[in-house]
Chain A
């Protein structure tokens, strides 16, 4: 029996189907009509409920088949119409269907039914079923089953054992490494050169790679070119020796039909093949015919991560078997129309591809091989004078050798082939709504399974689509960060000692403390020039970078200002292009001053609180003083004194609060320079560059060193990020860092926001639960967060709960670096966007915003 697909049990009531199913299959694999009847009628024998019961049964079967699960139908299935419905379901889902007939004597079945109190129907029912079964047995094999297994009699049913065979296209066990080779079309010389370049030892009738690599041919070995027999001899030898796999192309299919004598049009280079093969010995012709006839339509390789099919294959068809799957794999998703040159119009299935398996194919000549949504076409038209291209997998490197000459004139220039694709030309910035909305679970490499609830996705969609920069720039969104566990140090809510203790508990031995700038978080993605933006990011609007906020907004809504900011960042970090050998770079940092971006918030919220307190408290003080001066009795005077004391202390707090926010503001009015000329950038991490997800590869010391060297060269625009390294085992180090933090945050000194403590080493795969950073905010800065009088309420505030924040920080961090890594790896836009979008969605979760 197949490992996946559908199995129909066929047998009369009392033939032992349920017992048989229970013995050979998992309970969840078996869908029983009796159970379904019970589900819809509370009575498994209520025959009136049969139509509804089968509607439920069909639905379950269809859902399981769509999900690729082996499914066994436990129903009598003695009538042809009932079987036809299930066979149709199997075909609809492109899976194979087997029938297992349990043929027991009628008398035995009647006897068994009589022993069961719930089987109240008379023996005439069984008699009728038996008659139906007998009538069915003859034609059963022609009803669309791959195989029909008839088990004759009780003994055979009891003793049979069931083996499972995987389908021919299932080569998940083969993990490569592979060299997938595009359409050869009889270009034997180029094929030998390519195989040699790839490191194969090439003979006339085979080729072997010393490292055990396997070549995979995408089909269309034949036709048009100068030496189809030579290509076949070589490839057949490789396949026979296990050095290669080969899938069928449409040209092989047609050549086989021609060789078998079918009446086919001798066009598109078939003539060349037939003539060349006619000159070969008959044995080769026979072997070639047999070889090509036996080619299957596609392979699923490397644990399902790689699919090879001649014309590509949509995800629903991976590993499936049916005529239409074969047709798709050989001819593509054709619309049935032909264009003005008589060539079939093809539907751009790859644009909609969202599968996790890489689909490597050929069939449509393209000027150069390019990844589209994790699919790639390797047909670079060698026979038309282009090149023969191979993809090294899993390395994902392309290797191509040019054609020795144009062997065959193309019907249309290869460069224009893309136009043969139906529908609109490729719009690289287009995403699908169902990539992002609705409640979804994301499989994240660095955060595990992450749930994005629907309402958060809805809020993110609004922000993303109305305000965010072009999604092609959004290769990353910064995660939230948890504060260090709450401190019990007198007068402090947060203190370095707790961050050190937390990391020590997590097994971290060394940390880096980085100054936390009080500005606005900024992600800068900058390219050398607009041409790089077009080539690498797919943006052709003339922009060459973006600087955006935590929610993906551009820092300046005015385009000129925004571009000026991008240019300033590029100039400041230009040295990195050569140093990192890249044409683009993504940076994480802080844009200063705070007031550049947050002025609205400062005025509306912080300055308003300051103004209200500054005005109300002195008036209250005056009134209390006046009342005190009236000379009321002692009790009343004492009450007034207490109130006056409190009022006076709170005025001090209010002034401290005002100073705390004002420290991060710079006067704006009448300034001769435009806002963009006045901002400063404080980068603290080089997130990524071409081919490198540096956020995952390099320790923080490296980032600070690289960026620190830029600061000196870039003048006032770049602000350094000060830091101090701490060996957690050293009390001296801890004390020094604590003093450093106290100086940094002192109200009379720098009055800084605080610091971020991060593990010094690059986290390993087992460190997924270790916070990527813990912030320790200064005592005065926290007045902005918790209110002017928070120092009077520390006992209450210490009850704050950090659990949700910590969990959110880990999830967002994981998704963020996933997005970066996906972009660096050249994964499709929708995948990168899905991850960055998820960060934004999670950011809208209700977590205590003061943390």
Chain B
């Protein structure tokens, strides 16, 4: 039931506005001797004072949320129509709902007005704010990073998930206490913006307008905040209908929806060294060069992901027809955005086609291109399904050329922090000998010849980080 926030101040003996702690009552526009209730669309907020004397005064906001009612206010086709909508932590954990309630209940204070004692509102006062259950993705560290630059000293204690299962570790909550000397209006404004940022839950009920509004309300402190990019990024959680359908399927398995692997560009191990050209860029260049070498004019990128390679292909005028295929509709949406497909001229847009497909299913649409690219794709396919992919691409679609890239497993020892494979979704990673054997077998079976190359700076004994095979028919 209760989401909880307390605001405490202490007596000010010196400074521009000396006075007792109970001045908090004036500032908040809530009488310390009263227990007041405010109805919100999703529950009831109660304001009361567990302590109120001259030395120390605490106001508590207790927000009671009714999850059943909360769920019913949203339609059946709401994007997050999943079980999480009913069994969730909203009734207990501070979130944007608390932000909304606080903004409403303390609207006068947040606006920096105090009819009786305006000077109180205009000046910093000693403040201690506690949120016993604050969803804080990234742990206490994030709380420190977000609040300390604003002048707070931060105590963030992790909350364990379940004491009976210590191996489960900590929950995503921290018990947060921040203390500092700030204007109350500033403190409330910061909380209003940062609560949802810390939470990073799906902000399904927020339209783009609302996000803009919220970011604007951050005002000056946000534009100069060293973590402003983190703040902005965490707002950009979007959902689509297909994603909602995927989430439902994940739930059937008692699992969580897995974010689409965003492709090799996100592999942490590979971007470890900022002094070098990222491997992903080298790989794109190498693939484009290989496609130009074989004289391809039409190219199909199989497993195009977010469209990084497609963008490079579109920039090369030799390619008159370009297609991107991916099994993830979310990736295709992303690719369409990356390519700015909607604002392309008709003539330009005619060059590019994007469609959903799966490489283990025969598909006529995959045929009719000079070259096909499988860039960092084969390692995402289960070994038992590779034969189907080989048949679909080299047997059925059978373009004149096929460019395949895949990690060189031998090189992995060079990535110090890497344990296991380069991406959690990789089903295997090949050594150079394994890749060469596969290329030879597949080329032979389907009437291709193959040439092997390395991509990225090679290690003398381990070879290059990425390996590439260029298949040519006949």
Q: Could you list which residues of chain A lie within 8 angstroms of chain B, going by C-beta atoms?
A: 423-424, 427, 429-437, 455-456, 458-466, 470, 520, 539, 541, 543, 549-551, 553, 594, 597-601, 603-613, 615-617, 619-620, 622-624, 626-627, 630, 632-633, 636, 639-640, 643, 646-647, 650, 658, 662, 665, 667-670, 784-787, 789-790, 793, 796-797, 840, 843-846, 848-850
Tell me whether A619 and B167 are in contact (CB under 8 A).
no
Residue pair A432, B1 in contact (C-beta under 8 Å):
no
- From A459, A612, A668, A850, residue with most partner B Cβ within 10 Å: A612
Does chain A have a CB within 8 A of B388? yes
Contact at A458–B356, with CB atoms within 8 Å?
A: yes
Question: For residue B380, which residue of chain A has the nearest CB?
Answer: A466
- Establish whether residues B68 and A639, one from each chain, have CB atoms under 8 Å apart when the complex forms: no
Contact A615 B62 (CB under 8 A): no
- Extra contacts, 15 of them, besides A432-B361, A627-B49, A784-B87 (Cβ < 8 A), are A424-B396, A430-B361, A433-B362, A520-B254, A550-B252, A597-B254, A604-B256, A612-B171, A616-B2, A616-B93, A623-B6, A624-B50, A662-B164, A789-B67, A850-B86
Partner of A463, one of B62, B92, B246: B246
Interface pair B132/A646, CB less than 8 Å apart? no
Q: Which residues of B contact A610 (CB under 8 A)?
A: 161-162
Q: A459-B245, A787-B86 are in contact. Are A597 and B253 (CB under 8 A)?
A: yes
Whole-angstrom distance between the Cβ of B59 and the nearest chain A Cβ = 10
Instruction: Report the Cα distance A820→B87, complex, angstroms.
Output: 35
Beta-carbon contact of A639 and B391 below 8 Å: no
CA distance A630 to B244 in the complex (A): 49
Give 14 pairs: A residue, B residue, CB < 8 Å, sorted on A.
A430-B392, A431-B360, A436-B361, A455-B241, A459-B249, A466-B328, A551-B253, A608-B161, A608-B171, A608-B172, A639-B46, A793-B68, A840-B249, A849-B251
In chain B, what residue has the closest Cβ to A653? B1
A453 CB, min distance to chain B CBs, angstroms? 10
CA distance A767 to B460 in the complex (A): 71
CB under 8 Å from chain A, chain B span 11-57: 33-35, 37, 46, 48-52
Contact with A along B125-166 (1 / 0, CB 8 A): 000000011000000000000000000000000011110111
Q: Report whether B87 and A470 are in contact in the complex, using a CB–CB cutoff of 8 Å.
A: no
Closest-CB distance, A653 to chain B (whole angstroms): 9
- Chain B residues near A616 (CB-CB < 8 A): 2-4, 92-93, 132-133
Contacts of A553 in B (CB 8 A): 253
Nearest residue, chain B, Cβ from A790:
B68
Q: Does B379 contact A (CB under 8 A)?
A: no
Q: Which of A433, A456, A796, A850 has the most CB of B within 10 A?
A: A433
Q: Which 5 A-B pairs have the closest CB atoms?
A: A669-B167, A598-B254, A465-B358, A612-B92, A626-B50
Q: Total A-B pairs in contact (CB under 8 Å)?
A: 269
Q: Is the CB of B171 within 8 A of A607?
A: yes
Please give me the residue from chain A that is nearest to B46 by CB atom. A643
A455, A607, A636, A840: which contacts B35 (Cβ < 8 A)?
A636
Q: Is B248 an interface residue (CB 8 A)?
A: yes
How many interface residues does B have (CB within 8 Å)? 92
Task: Answer yes or no: B89 CB below 8 A from chain A CBs.
Answer: yes
Is B384 interfacial (CB-CB < 8 Å)? Answer: yes
Partner of B87, one of A435, A543, A609, A617: A609
Given A466-B380, A670-B167, do A550 and B253 touch, yes or no (CB 8 Å)? yes
Task: Looking at the assembled complex, report how far the CB atom of B73 sits from the nearest CB atom of chain A, in whole angstroms.
Answer: 12
Whether A796 lies near B133 (C-beta < 8 A) is: no
A646 neighbours in B (Cβ, 8 Å): 1, 64
Instruction: Give the Cβ gap from A139 to chain B, nearest Cβ, in Å.
Output: 41
Which residues of A have CB within 8 Å of B395? 423-424, 427
Are A427 and B327 in contact (CB-based, < 8 A)? Answer: no
Known contacts A429-B387, A611-B162: does B33 contact A633 (CB below 8 Å)? yes
For the complex, is B317 an interface residue (Cβ under 8 Å from A)? Answer: no
- Chain A contacts of B358 at CB under 8 A? 433, 461-462, 464-465
Q: Which residues on the A side are within 8 Å of B396 (C-beta)?
A: 424
The reply to whether the CB of B383 lies closer than 8 angstroms to some CB of chain A is yes
Q: Check B106 for interface membership: any CB of A closer than 8 A.
A: no
B residues less than 8 Å from A607 (CB atoms): 161-162, 165, 168, 171
User: B347 within 8 Å of A by Cβ?
Assistant: no
Stretch at the interface among B77-85, B205-213, B219-227, B294-302: B77-85
Is B4 in contact with A620, judged by CB distance below 8 angstroms?
A: yes
**B-chain residues with CB within 8 Å of residue A466 when the two chains form the complex:** 327-328, 380, 425
User: Which chain A residues border B285 with CB–CB below 8 Å?
Assistant: none
Q: Are A455's CB and B245's CB within 8 A?
A: yes
Q: Is A611 in contact with B160, judged by CB distance below 8 angstroms? A: yes
Residue of A nearest to B66 (CB): A793
A623 to B84, CA, bound (A): 29
Residues of A within 8 A of B172 (CB): 604, 608
